[in-house]
Amino acid sequence: MPVTDSGGSCPQRRSGRSKTGFQAYQNGLSAENLVCHDLRRHGITVLEQRWSAAHLGEIDIIATSQKRLMLIEVKARRLFKQTGLLANEALTARQAHRILQSGLAYIQSRQLSEYIVELWLASCQLDRTGQLLELAYYPYLVS
């Protein structure tokens, strides 16, 4: 039986993703893992990965360094795919708002009010095979 025939916990089953959609999902997971590894390598503590608040949304990575709580959205893009956007241009104001709202829920649930909250975009540029070419971090300025 093909994986996409019925519902279930597998992401491909859950949303009926095509092979292309499932590959994008896998690339996203891989990029998140690469970012977590890079953060740890730089002495940043990763507290959560794929943390979600009911009815608010998901935060890809929550990390801390000193008294900074970093909410990190990971965007992976293939350079050769004609999306029109590089990964560092792919975070909308609406997405940022949802991440910040989820971040506030996280802070309240963990009693972390003494932390300075920052929203970051981790931009992963991939080659045609999905291998990482470049990883960069961009602060998201909330207006």
Handedness of CA 70, 104, 34, 92 (dihedral sign): negative
Assign domain 10-139 to a CATH class. Answer: alpha beta
Residues whose CB is less than 8 angstroms from the CB of residue 31 and which lie 6 or more positions away in sequence, other chains included? 74, 75, 76, 122, 124, 126, 132
Query: Residues 65-103: pLDDT tens digits?
Result: 999 999 999 988 776 555 555 555 677 888 889 999 999
Query: Residues 97-131: pLDDT tens digits?
Result: 999 999 999 999 998 889 999 999 998 887 777 77
Bridge-based pairing of strands 57-65 and 132-139 is: unpaired
Ranges 1-5, 9-13, 92-96: which has the least confidence: 1-5
Residues whose CB is less than 8 angstroms from the CB of residue 15 and which lie 6 or more positions away in sequence, other chains included? 21
Name the DSSP class of 44. P
pTM above 0.85, yes or no: no
